[in-house]
A and B are shown apart, each in its own frame.
Chain A
Amino acid sequence: MDQTNILIEKKEKEVLVDHFTGRKYKDRLFLSAVIFFSLITISFVFLIIGAMVLKGYHQINWSFFTQVAPDTFTAMMAKSSGQLIPGGIVNGITGSLYLVGLASLIAIPFGVLIGIYLYENSKKRYAAVIRDITDVLQGVPSIVVGLIVYLWVVVHITHGYSVLAGSVALSIMMLPLIIRSTEESLKMIPDTLKEAAIALGTPYYKVILRVLIPTSFSGLVTGILLAVSRILGETAPLMLTTLGNPAINWNITKPVSAVPLLIWQFYNDPNMVDLIWSSTLFLMGFVLILNLLSKWIAAKRRF
């Protein structure tokens, strides 16, 4: 006992003398490093969005939203005479809305239904398999999704690049996001609520339609908005499925443009460079608004 005491006395001196200053110093140093690297992380947001705003704002005007993209010759002429490039990105905007709208039409109902299925059968092996496969699908690189849909739709169904192909590609990317967010927001509903409805003798389908879905509605909406904001900027899969179109197109079997596709096109055409940043700014603004909207809804929701 005494020996231990002496040993500990000795050790105590070590703590206080040898280690003390060094330890405090290391502690501070580490905190500074954490703050420093965190600042670097958030500085990228400023650098990227700042560059976009500075370079893009002057090209944003009325015609930007009402006219289709110019051809390269018009753009070159305007540039050489020192004017703003005429035209806009309305073919891209309408195309993006068309593609995303159609993709949502496919992905939302299926996603919500499958999400409910997973929630209802959470203990079943089959459901676990479906959940795992959904995770796999979510991890599939978007370019591979584009490639697959090319093989399915472009080759076999529309025999050419088309709105349908693009929407199918985007919907495959949305589906896992919606499934998982539906399941997660349903899981947040307390069991007691469900049991209360069942105890009243409510048929099960009504419990789902009248209790579960309304209660988790804002959760569902959050998930959907987030999914839409994710696919809005997708470019690679569209290059393989809808290609692009200089005019506005509403025919589902024909190619269509999209804002990200236009950006890619401008990037590859030295005469159009000026239009890149305004289009990017527009795209980013759109994505940002959806993001913030979903955050806002998520913050207000109860379940």
Chain B
Amino acid sequence: MNEINTTTKPSILSIEDLSIAYDIDKYAVRNVSAKIEKNAITAIMGPSGCGKTTLLRAINRMHELYPNISTKGQIKLYDENIYDMSTIKLRRKIGMVFQRPNPFPTLSIYENVIAGYKLNGIHMKRSERDEIVETSLRDVTLWDEVKNSLHKKGTFLSGGQQQRLCVARALAFKPDVILLDEPTSALDPVSTAKIEDLLVELKKQYTIVLVTHNMSQAARISDNSMFMYLGELIEYEDTKTIFTKPKDPRTEGYLTGKFG
């Protein structure tokens, strides 16, 4: 098992000896243990194929959608094992934003934001819905751009706007944790900057786990950083330390661009 720091600060998620295999005995994530700090941004870095996405998706049990994937170990949200929770409850508490913006193309912008409520069969008064939509869109600084076209389909927005809409969709349900898998990799620099500002703003209320390929992004906005390699968690420190004084030569190699 990897020796993991970290902080003495309050943690919200704790990953304990987690291993995930897509096929029998072919582990994409091995024996990872880590505590995720509350109200902070935790970045997961590492070369392509090292298991970042696999680890992230385990946190809201996305792997269960596919029959052949096996998972060992535990993940605790506060002190509750997520595998003992219902997926409905878990996914209410842990929201997810995907690599490519994926608003529901058959729904309007408005309906996209409250899709979580609709999918969960929660009926609300119109005024309640309006309020949630507005708050969530304001949170992602999209409100002013779309307030006049709320009832148009979300697919006509730009990629960056779509991605912010997807963040709003995850926020509308007020989760405790938001997982983001390379949320800016399909976006231009301006949209990327907007999402980054947004994440920094959001960490006041939410805990954010961010997979990123972009090292400067991790350096800019994250509080803690993980470096993964071949399925293992090599190093996990606060961001400043990992970028200035990496302990492991593999981390150093990656950060200095020797491989990856």
Contact = CB atoms under 8 A, between A and B. Distances in A.
Interface string A1-16: 1011101100110111
B122 A20 contact: no
A14 B120 CA distance: 10
Interface stretch (B4-12, B25-33, B55-63, B85-93): B85-93
A11 to B, nearest CB: 5
Contacts of A14: 122
Interface string B132-160: 10010000000000000000000000000
B174 A8 contact: yes
Interface string A228-239: 000000000000
A14 B88 CA distance: 12
A302 interface: no
B122 A15 contact: yes
Contacts of B173: 8
A14 B92 CA distance: 12
Interface in B62-96: 86, 88-89, 92
A286 to B, nearest CB: 38
A23 interface: yes
B135 A15 contact: no
A246 to B, nearest CB: 59
Given A15-B88, A15-B92, A16-B89, A7 B121 contact: no
A5 B174 contact: yes
Contacts of B89: 15-16, 20
Contacts, number: 37
A245 B135 CA distance: 81
Nearest to B132: A4
B24 interface: no
Contact of A7 (B86, B120, B128): B128
Contact of B86 (A1, A5, A11, A20): A20
A206 interface: no
A210 interface: no
A19 B86 contact: no
B243 interface: no
B123 to A, nearest CB: 9
B122 A11 contact: yes
Interface residues of B, number: 15
Contact of A12 (B86, B92, B121, B131): B92
B117 interface: yes
B190 interface: no
Contact of A23 (B121, B128, B131, B132): B121
Nearest to A1: B135
A12 B122 CA distance: 9
Contacts of A8: 132, 173-174
Nearest to A11: B122
Contact of B132 (A7, A15, A16): A7
A15 B120 CA distance: 7
A245 B227 CA distance: 82
A16 B85 CA distance: 11
B124 A11 contact: yes
Interface in A1-54: 1, 3-5, 7-8, 11-12, 14-16, 19-20, 23-24
Contacts of A11: 117, 122, 124
| Residue in A3, A4, A20 with the greatest tally of chain B CB atoms within 10 Å | A4
A4 B135 contact: yes
Contacts of A20: 86, 88-89
Nearest to B87: A24
A84 B53 CA distance: 70
A132 to B, nearest CB: 28
A12 B176 CA distance: 13
A16 B124 CA distance: 15
Given A3-B131, A4-B131, A8-B132, 9 more contacts: A4-B132, A5-B174, A7-B131, A8-B173, A11-B117, A11-B122, A16-B88, A19-B120, A20-B88
- Give the top 9 A-B pairs by smallest Cβ distance, nearest first: A8-B174, A4-B135, A19-B121, A15-B120, A11-B122, A14-B122, A15-B122, A7-B128, A4-B131
Interface of B: 86, 88-89, 92, 117, 120-122, 124, 128, 131-132, 135, 173-174
19 contacts: A7-B128, A7-B131, A8-B173, A8-B174, A11-B122, A11-B124, A12-B92, A12-B174, A14-B122, A15-B88, A15-B89, A15-B92, A16-B88, A16-B89, A19-B122, A20-B88, A23-B88, A23-B121, A24-B86
